Structure formats: structure tokens, C-alpha cells
Structure 1
């Protein structure tokens, strides 16, 4: 049997109908029967509990993991609507999946890193391939989480992490994570994958700096208070036109912060690491990002570039094909920043780009993904968080 995967999706507004349709399509494609594992990504218009309950029932109550997103991605489909769900069902005698979760991570200084390490430590072995993580994107700080997780695991940074930060539809109010029957927020859904397989990964952000170099002059953890001695929100006025205070969502999706990439990843990744400004405090004039930063750090204001995004997707496919050789992937998971979808490209243009990427990697490969509030993928053996980025993982 080896590995068989099927994918289905639905845009039905009824959560029962949508969940059942997506699940049955995934099962019918390959005649899978009762799957070994199920991945689910959905937008937040649905009653999330009812949706997951329906999918669990339709898939024989197989173990399940996933999260909410700003939209979904499957073969030849890239949807950004309030009502869309995609399901991947997997049956395999060579790959093994174990799921777990932690909740209430916003109340911990390490955002659940130590607790997650305790959960997955017994599973780690020579046949471990990696972990997929689906994490609340509204409250997460990657650096303390990563440091704690790696400190508490044997081999630490040898465990490769892939995944995305759960999203909602631009409202930044509440995201959802899924583990079996449970639907929760402020948590992590984790899947450990082991067996006889590998993961090829391609990553690209497609952003360019604008204006001059700046320096952070006051910060704490993942909060930046001042740049060049000026409150951050004051400095951003130089980069926007009109009433920027009433257009924060638009501004934060068009402008982000670029930091010098560490030497350890620069050759593979490029000169800048991009960070999305996930929140702000008008009273203090500060912004929050999803990793820690110190005073004295240099940065640039950056924006997306359409041509770089197009070229970057070609580079992703080339990198994955280089790693897989002539072997066709068993399945692909794509974690795409919501700032690289409909806010940049027309609908047809966006779908053409996704379709071209899929054709270059494998036209008939089972493919599932979602539009995220942040992407996770290793660069040069270092686990990294990314923003305004595509992370494409091919299991082969």
C-alpha cells in the first residue's frame, strides 16, 4: 500500500454539509476507507465545533489535527472566503502520525514550549521525520517557544518544525486549533511524523526594503516601542498616505519590518528576515511582532514585490525538485502568508501562480494548505518563523 492520500474541499455555508462534502471527497479520491490520520484547515465563518465533529464522523473518527486559516489551498484551488474547508486523509504503512496539543499558551513565558516537549519526547527516535505545528497566530512569540522546546528535547534543534500560525478573516479576534474532537484557541496542535520518508522544503518571502536603514532604540521581548528614538507608529507615518490610524489592517498588510538575516541562514534564505506587525498600542505608539528583538537592532521597512513573489515560487519548486530528485511526493502541505493572496494578486492571477507551482512539483500530488498569520519552516537546519512568506513542504 505504501502511502495513499486524498484531498477534498467545500464552500458550502452549512458546517455539517461542508464537513461531510470535504471529507467524503478526500476519501473517495483514493478509496482510502478509514484513514490513519486527517488534516483539516478551514476559515472561521463556520461553527468550528460542528464542522470538526462532522469531519470526525465522516472519517471513522481517525486522529485529526489542523487549524483555522484566512483561506485554504488545494490542487488548482486557492480560496480566501469566510466559508471554505479542506480535508486531507492519509493511509500509510510507511509513515506514522501521532497528534497532541497544549492549551492556554498565552499565560506562559515560553508559550507552551516546555509542555509540548514533554508530550512529544517519548515519540522521538531515529525514524522521526519532523513535527507539524498549528498555533494561535494572535498571541504567539516564536523565540521563547523555540528556545524552551529545544532545551527540553534530546538533540534539541535536530527536530525539524513545519507549519503555520492559525488565522481568522482579517478581524484578529479569535483563531482556532483542532485536535481530534477538540476545538480550542490560544493553543498548539502538533503532529509528530515518523517512518520511512523525508520532507523537502522550499521557502521564499518576496519582499524588498524601501527607504533608509533604521535602528530600534527601545524594545522589550516582542514589543518594539521606539525606532530612531521615535515611537514606531509616528515613524510609520512617513511611509503611508492619508489617515493611517483608521487603515491599520491595510498598512500592516502592505508594510512589514525587515531584519538582517543571521549568517547561518543568509546564503539559503537571503539578506532579510521579514516580520509582520501583528498588533499595536496607540497610547504607547508601539507595535508587536511574533519574535523577540533587542535595542540596537538594525531594520528596514519592507514591502512585497510581485515579481519577486513569482520568481520565489519558481525557486521553491526548483529547490524541492532538487531534494526529491525523480521521486514524486506522497503529499504536499503549503503554508502561505495571508499577505501574499488577494491583497496582492487578482483572483485569476493568484490561482495561476498556485497552479503553476503545483504543476512544477507534481500535477497530481495530493496538496493541502492554508493562508496563515505566520509560517514555520527550517532554513539551513535552523527552525525559523517567517512572515509574508510561502513555506512548501513535500513529503516523499
Structure 2
């Protein structure tokens, strides 16, 4: 039996109807009678239990996994108003799916990663090819706090074989850090991390779409408190950023949030710029009284060298990265895109819809994906939490 993949979406405002419609379309679009596995995602305005109820009317005994999303991407649809849902079904004797979960993420991210990694490592076989790991980005809404990907994936990574290809993301219901949810089979969870191990006769290749380039010399972070960058080069962080942006930059301090990006070069410090060597950090909020930047992750510690990054206004970088990835792939059969919510055009600060460029560059390869809070992939040989990036996975038959 050949691998069949069907993708469906809906923006119905009634959660049960949205789940049912997307699942029905997925089966229809994939010409699938019986699905073996389903990836399911729902926007933050939906009731997760009602959405799952709708999906189960169509896929009652099908193993499934997924969660909350800021928006949905397919090869024919892009939406991020909060009512979008997406369902992808697989029917294949070439790919096996195994799901794992661990709760208590809001209490100890490192412990969750450690336990989840142990569970996955015990199931890895010689033909295990790829792994998706998803987790709640939001720890709590009031006051706003995030679950950090850095300790979660640092603990997870030590249990995994180096050759296993991994991509992941943090679920984000909306920009207000409302509660997130995960779906695993017929249950709804929160403050959870899930792993989807994929094994069989296929390959999975991953590329990171950054769209950022350095626009400053290196500066050194000299004082932090968790995810808060207090000082750069022994001066208040906001003062240094103001100087780096240059005179008359016209950007209000409050607009640094979700726009200002700092890059860490994991490659040759003084070599030719290579986008894939950079791990970028996005500013979540600004602490004006302390002249500090609040970042999405706590890994910009004292002594870290960073550069101010500017976002590319030219969309050509998207097709360039994707064409290189397609050349690596043997017979591309499916693409999955984990895209930062900040890259959606209303928030990106650039004049094009990133996901539309991805759709066009894939040239008919079936595409599913969701908008995330944080993205994860390997930079060099290390798993790295990423901000303002897109992580694209292409599956190919062997």
C-alpha cells in the first residue's frame, strides 16, 4: 500500500462542527477509507473538548495527537483569527506513529524533558527516522509567564540518538498567552509535552527559515535574571539597543516587544554570514522601569555575544531555502510547517505573507502546519529553541 495523506481545514465558529468538517475533508482530500493516524490542531477560540468530539465523529478509533494553535496552514489555506482548525490523516504501511506524553510542565520543564526522553528512547528502533515534540508555550496568563523550551529540550536531547531528526514547537492559543491544550488520542491535556516518534521506510529533512540578518557588531550581555536581559556591555539593555538602532530610528520602546530580535551566531564568528548558523531570540516584552528586555527564553546568559538582527523585506529567501531542502529530498510526499505566530503578516513587519511564499515554493507538495509560540530544530549539531523562525519538514519515500 502506498502512503496516502489527506489534509483538511475549517474556520467554522462552532467547535464540534469545525472538527467534523476538517476531518471529513482530510479523508476526502486524501482519498482515504481508513486512517492510521491523525495530526489535529485547533485555534485558541475553540473549545478543545468540543473540537475533539467533532473529530471523533469521523475518526473514532484513530490514534491522534496535536494541540492548540495560533493559526493553521495548509497548501490551500492560511488563517489566524482563532477559529481555524486543521486535520491531517495518514494511511500507510511505510510509516509507524508512536505517541508519548508527560505532564507537569509548569512545575519543572527539565524533569518533563528527562522523563519524556527516557520514554521515547526505549521505543526508538533502527528504522526510527523522525520525531515531533510539542509543548505548552503558556505557563500562566496573569501575570504572563512562559514554559521554557531550553531546559525541556536540553533534558530530552541527551536521551536521543544523534541521527534522529527532530522538529518541535510550543503551542500558542493567542498572543495573550491564554491556556493551551494538547490532544492525545481521546484525551485533552494541559501543561503537557508530547512526542510523536515516526519510524519506517521514509526520510524526514528539516530546514529553518530565519529571514533575519545581523545589522550590528557583536555586543555582550553582561547581566540577566532568567529571561530578562538587564545589561549589555555593562549598560542598561534599552540604552544599548537605542544606540544600536541609530539616531532618529523612530521606534517606540513599547514596540520593541514582538519586533526586536537578537541573534546568536553558532558558527564562525568572523566568517561569511550563514543564516542556518544563527539562533534568534525575540523580545516578548519590555521592562521600561528597569530598561530591560524580556525574552522568550532564558538562555541569553551573562557573557553571551549577540547581534541586533533585521528582518528581510525580500521574500526570495523562502524559495531559496525550500529549493535547497527539496534537492536533498528523494521523492517528497508531504511537508509540515511549524511557523512562529510573529511571522504572520499583521505582526511580522514585512510586506509579504511568509506562509504564502512557502505554499508557492513547495509547488504542489501537500502541506500542513500551524502557527507556534517557539520553534525547535537543530542548529549545527545541537537542538535549539528558536524565535521568529519557520521550521519546515519534508517527508520523502525511500
* TM-score bracket, shorter-length normalisation: 0.7 to 0.9
Higher helix share: 1
Higher alpha-carbon deviation: 287-296 or 348-357: 348-357
Residue 343 of structure 2 corresponds to 340
347 and 35 in structure 1: CA distance in 2 versus 1, 3 angstrom threshold: farther
Structure 1: gaps spanning 5 or more residues: none
Of 274, 279, 297, the match for 1:273: 279
Partner SS state of residue 149, structure 1 = helix
Q: 1:117 to 1:352 in 2, by over 3 A?
A: closer
- Distance change (3 Å), C-alpha of 1:118 and 1:279: farther
Per mean C-alpha deviation after superposition, the further-off stretch among 276-285 and 259-268 is 259-268
What is the number of equivalent residue pairs in this alignment?
382
Q: Does 1:208 align with 2:203?
A: no
Q: Secondary structure at the match of 1:330?
A: strand
Which piece of structure 1 moves more, 229-238 or 250-259? 229-238
Give the CA deviation at 1:292: 1.5
Is this contact kept in 2: 1:258–1:272, CA < 8 A?
yes
Which residue pairs with 1:354 in the alignment?
358
Aligned residue number for residue 302 of structure 1 = 309
Q: CA deviation at 1:287?
A: 1.5
Alignment gaps of 5+ in structure 2: 139-145
What is the alpha-carbon distance in structure 2 between the residues aligned to residue 352 and residue 167 of structure 1?
21
Change (3 A) 1:386 1:350: closer
Give the equivalent residue in structure 1 for 2:366.
Answer: 366
TM-score by length of 1: 0.87
| Counterpart Cα distance in 2 of 1:210 and 1:287 | 20
Q: For 1:29-178, what aligned pairs fall within 5 Å after superposition?
A: 29-108=29-108, 110=110, 112-138=112-138, 139-151=146-158, 153=159, 155=161, 157-178=162-183
Of 266-275 and 334-343, more deviation after overlay is shown by: 266-275
The DSSP-based 3-state class of the residue aligned with 1:257 is strand
When the two chains are superposed, the root-mean-square deviation of aligned CA atoms in Å is 2.7
Structure 1 residue 47 displacement after superposition: 0.7
CA-CA distance at 1:267 after TM superposition = 8.1
Q: Deviations over 1:257-306 (max 9, x none)?
A: 11222459998644532112235555653513325132121112223112
CA distance in 2 between partners of 1:145 and 1:348 (Å): 33
Higher mean Cα deviation, 70-79 or 49-58? 49-58
| Partner Cα distance (2:70, 2:27) in 1 | 25
TM score, norm. by length of structure 2: 0.87
Query: CA offsets per residue over residues 315-353 of structure 1, 9 Å max, x none?
Result: 22222221114x1x2321001112222223789855642
Structure 1 Cα separation of the partners of residues 272 and 297 of structure 2: 20
CA distance in 2, matches of 1:358, 1:77: 14
Q: What is the alpha-carbon distance in structure 2 between the residues aligned to residue 75 and residue 223 of structure 1? A: 38
Contact 1:231 1:286 in 2 (8 A): no
Secondary structure of 1:34's aligned partner:
coil
Question: 1:113 and 1:349 mapped to 2: Cα distance?
Answer: 33
- C-alpha distance in 2, partners of 1:354/1:109? 32
